[in-house]
Amino acid sequence: MGDETTKPTKAPYLLIAPSWAALGILFLLPLLVMFIISFGMRGTYGGLKPIDDLWAYILSGDFLANYKRSLEPLYWPIYWRSFWMATVTTVLCLLISYPIAYYIAIVAPARWKNLLLALVVIPFWTSFLIRTYAWMLILRTEGLINTVLMEGGLIDKPLDLLYNEFAVMIGLVYGELPFMILPLYASLEKLDLTLLEASSDLGAKHVSTFWRVTLPLTMPGVVAGVVLVFIPSIGQFVVSDLLGGAKSMLVGNLIQNQFAVARHRPFGSAIAFELTAVVLLLLFAYAWWAKKRGQEAML
């Protein structure tokens, strides 16, 4: 953004101070407090139990109790499900999104482009809750699909489409899809088409042009999309709460449960912090990858 004033001045600090205060007090400090509390013990009413002798508490190793508990085999299926569902969501989003991003960026007539892009952006910003709810109308026992199939005489009794992992999967892909299309579009839009021409002129079939020119050049978009879909998917709890059943609990539900139902904030904080650590690791890996490629990160 080029133009920076040369004289040192107080102005930038006056301008940025409110943001520092707001983000410091309402974002960084809460994360720090949550981190500290994750080492604590639950008191009555889900609060924090006061610690009499801090030194003894640390030496006894009790401060790691919440983390130890979070690693018990009881919770493994939840972590595993969160991981594979986020992974499958990411892969499905990528497979669905690349062709449409390619279409909007390269194939579609120029005058349609803004409209086509806007149609992706709109669901991106509208209520995730309501868009998830819409799937309940479609999938539930008295829902659209079952009604149509029953009326058509194709089935005798309604199919169990809702409250299972299949429904959660649909909800995740549906919700996260725009997060994949947009970065892919941004990458494809920047693609220098003369390179594709050159590849074609040199005799490459278009399939190999795609694998050897187009895809490698749009990798920044692919990786950004993967990060942007994977992170919200792994922290999701609304979709699994509304569309999933008892057996489709994700790590997000586990955390939410500790705060809303079980009233065990220290334990909830510990899992939330572990989730944060995973997310930050992913972001660092992404930043490292972008730097290695010598590109400005897209996020």
- Please, which of residues 229-258 interact with other proteins by CB under 8 A? 231-232, 234-238, 242, 252, 255-256
* Contact residue for other proteins among 58, 71, 137, 155 (CB under 8 A): 137
**Is there binding between residue 26 and other proteins (CB under 8 A)?**
yes
- 103 near other proteins, rule: CB under 8 A: yes
Instruction: Tell which positions 165-194 bind other proteins, by CB under 8 A.
Output: 174, 177-179, 182-183, 185-186, 189-190, 192-194
Q: Are 96 and 174 in contact (CB under 8 A)?
A: no
Does 293 bind other proteins (CB under 8 A)? Our answer is no
List phi, psi (to 5°) of 40.
-90, -175
Minimum CB distance to other proteins smaller for 244 or for 268: 268
Nearest approach, Cβ of 58 to other proteins (angstroms)? 19
Does residue 154 belong to the site contacting other proteins (CB under 8 A)?
no
Look at residue 206 and give its three-state secondary structure: helix
Confirm if 229 and 176 have CB atoms less than 8 A apart: yes
Shortest distance in whole angstroms from residue 178 CB to other proteins: 8
Binding residue for other proteins (CB under 8 A) from 51, 136, 262, 290?
A: 136
Q: Number of residues in contact with other proteins, rule: CB under 8 A?
A: 119
The DSSP annotation for 83-114 comes to HHHHHHHHHHHHHHHHHHHHIIIIIS-HHHHH
Residues within window 194-233 making contact with other proteins, judged by CB under 8 A: 194, 196-201, 204, 206, 209, 213-214, 224, 228, 231-232
With a CB cutoff of 8 Å and minimum separation 6, the contacts of 261 are: none
44 binds other proteins (CB under 8 A): no
Task: Find the helix packing angle between 165-190 and 128-139, rounded to 10°.
Answer: 130
Which listed residue (143, 166, 245, 263) binds other proteins by CB under 8 A? 143
Q: Please identify, using beta-carbon distances, which residue of 48 and 51 lies nearer to other proteins.
A: 48
The contacts of residue 66 (CB under 8 Å, 6+ apart) are: 38, 39, 40, 266, 267, 269, 270
The interface region with other proteins, picked from 25-33, 54-62, 70-78 by CB under 8 A, is 25-33
Candidates 50-58, 59-67, 68-76, 107-115; binding stretch for other proteins (CB under 8 A): 107-115
- Residues 6+ positions from 117 with CB-CB distance below 8 Å: 104, 185
The DSSP bridge partners found for residue 240 are none
Residue 42 dihedral angles phi and psi, to the nearest 5°: -75, 135
